[in-house]
Structure 1
Amino acid sequence: MRPEPPPKAKPIEKEKDCILFSNSPIEDVNHAKSFWKSLTLQPPLESRLVSADIRQRLRIATPPNKPPKKTRRSTTTWEETKTAVFLHNAYQQDKKEVKQKYRQLMLQREAALNLLHKQRLERLQKELISLPYKPAQKTFDNKIEEDYISDELE
């Protein structure tokens, strides 16, 4: 049994919606309508009555005979200074700890490199001791040249 094809959309009048779908499923027609309706443009910002971007009211002007208010400094200047000094000291302490950590890593790396160098020197000394007792290595190339020369002489 075959599933039934989706129902066909009815042709839409050109004058009414200016969109014509023939032999299209209703779902496609509905999706297309919602898409084109979402593309309608909003009026320009200047022509709107209320907007979040534009200030709706101006500040209230101060009377001309009153001088402008002077803002008083807060009384927390001592506390602010104390906090700033504390934060600066904490930052310096953190900086020292990081520097110490990197110094320890550098010393560990140097110790590892020194150990590798020492082990390499010991290995080379052992190889030098056993060098006179090793058999001479014959190369494959020399044997081929000797066979070639002997064949030519015969």
Structure 2
Amino acid sequence: MAATAPATEAKTTVFIGSSDEDKACAKLFWQSVNLHPTIESRLVSGDMRQRLPIAPRSGQCKSFELEAHLQKAHKETIYEESKRITNQALGREANLALLEKRKKERHDKEMLSNQKRRERHQAKLKGNYMNDEEFNEDSDDDAVTAMKELDKFEQRLLKEKPNL
């Protein structure tokens, strides 16, 4: 009766050798099979309200109290953090001042030692020997070695405590 043959398009069916009445019935059938979404599932509908009713504002005063409490807690947290950072900065400044003081003391001792060494060297060149113990070169080497050991110790302290 009605013969179908696939057309060049994949979604089209062509009825060859069928009457106009059969074609109309087939068309009506395929339109009924193609289901439309229900009214409830459509985004826009003329017979439905689009928005839900707005909730009453009965709890508004509670939200202000809560907001004020949260702001106060946030300010306290920021204050504590800034206080901690300030204390760290003050401690760091104190440590740096102490290191600078020790460095200056060590430098003064080195300058005194170098001055004494130059005086002994000048006296040795002039031939003014007071006693042999004063011109002992080993004592100069010991002082230099001790200063180098102090430098190494201080560097090791700085490596162990990087926040000084």
Q: Mark the structure with the bigger radius of gyration.
A: 2
Superposition TM-score, scaled by structure 2 size: 0.41
Higher normalized strand content (fraction of residues): 2
- Identify which of structures 1 and 2 has the higher relative contact order when contacts are C-alpha pairs closer than 8 Å and 6+ apart: 2
Question: Which structure has greater helix proportion?
Answer: 2
